[in-house]
Amino acid sequence: MKRMEREKFTERRKLKRFQVQDGAFAVLRPEFTRLGQIINISYEGLAFQYAVIAKQKNGASELDIFLTGDAFYLENMSFETVSDRRATRKSSKGFLPLRRCSVRFKDLTGTQMAQLEYFIQNHTIN
């Protein structure tokens, strides 16, 4: 980001974002075309990075969070997309374009909030 752009940028987040441990992923449903590693998370949203492997549809309405090698799976979270833009780094393979998607959670149930709190307390880096 250029210096002038950084100076004009206004922080919109209300809650602290936490860095997530390796192996935490998000996937948008029902198409499952956007699957990627979570970069950071808060009680109101998250950001994840994904490789573009198929034409993206705009019909995603729910999000799942899961961990590799763990039994944690938080599903069917309603969300709205805040941004979905080209990422600044390339994929590890070097040929797939990467995108960074930021979402805001909407209308979470009590159970989903409890699972989200558990995830933040146990699978983030303070």
pLDDT tens track, the chain, 126 positions: 444 444 444 445 566 899 999 999 999 988 777 899 999 999 999 999 998 876 666 667 899 999 998 889 999 999 999 999 988 765 555 667 889 999 999 999 999 999 999 999 999 987
Task: Read off the pLDDT of residues 95-106 as tens digits, 9 standing for 90 and up.
Answer: 678 899 999 999
- Burial class from Cβ neighbours inside 10 Å (0-12, 13-18, 19+) for residue 46 reads buried
CB 35 within 8 A of CB 60: no
Q: If you ran DSSP here, which 8-state letter would residue 97 be given?
A: -
The two structure tokens encoding residue 107: 């209308």
Predicted TM-score (pTM) above 0.85: no
- What domains are defined for the chain? 17-125 (2.40.10.220)
3-class SS of residue 117? helix
